Structure 1
Amino acid sequence: MDVKPTPTPAHDNRVERRTYAEKAAARDAARADSTRIIERYQAREPVSRIAADYRVNPDWLALRLVEWGIHRRHRHEAHALRRPAGHVFRGRTKRRTTAEVRDAQAKFTANRDDISARYLAGASVTGLAREYQVAPTWIAERLDDWGVPRRKRPVPTQAHDTTVPPH
């Protein structure tokens, strides 16, 4: 099932597009492996990931699942399978107890002077959140409570076209 595009030279920046025959072959391979696709989908794997493995369009694969009589997940079910927002704290695999969160917050507040100085020296809220394992929004609230002046987010610079007059 390994259909790979023809390698291009390193200096060639063009995107290699698959031919109609290659796309048709990928769709045929997916149809032939329908039982495995159904098993993966019922094992709660996202359609987009399955489609990427078979090199077919996710919308096309979703239509095939309906065609094969598979009940599609509702949007809220699919959303529940996504990665939780707690991904800021890399490496944590289970939810912490309230006591653990309070301990982390107490450790953070005990180092108030050091944290304030580090933030003013350029440390990011996200970096501090990872280090102390507390939510970035909670840190922002503490900095506001402590009267630490907050930095503004940098505004992206835009290239202005001087040939076009403003509206």
Structure 2
Amino acid sequence: MTVRRPTPSERAAAREAARADKVTIIERYRAREPVSRIADAYGVTSGWLALRLDEWGVPRRQYYEAHLHRRPAQRVFRGRVRRRTRAEVRAAQAEFTDSRSSVITRYRGGESIASLARSFNVSHAWVAERLDEWGVSRRGQSAG
């Protein structure tokens, strides 16, 4: 089965409709929706839509940033994500230790070490060390 190509007048109408709906397109793009999906919805090519976003002054996402919503940052190739400075790591760790009582409550309430680490942007090993240091009994560890 062959897909029918749009006529020049159909392509022009699709482009005009996209231009008229500029605000919605920009909102969808800023909501991290892929350009290809937005372009398909309007019947235009993703290349054409990308050029319009540039024309409208919308800062473009890098390819890897467009897909960060698909998986946690720990699983993204480190070379693609900006490494945190030591000061940023210390600030995240300080925020964690300042929230000691809420962290302990959340952990005892069933939240995992990995989830706590993600919410404070620190490593799960560091969280486990703090819980041990604070004398919190850990779940799922065999004695001895």
Q: What is the TM-score normalised by the length of structure 1?
A: 0.41
Higher share of residues assigned helix: 2
Q: What is the TM-score normalised by the length of structure 2?
A: 0.47
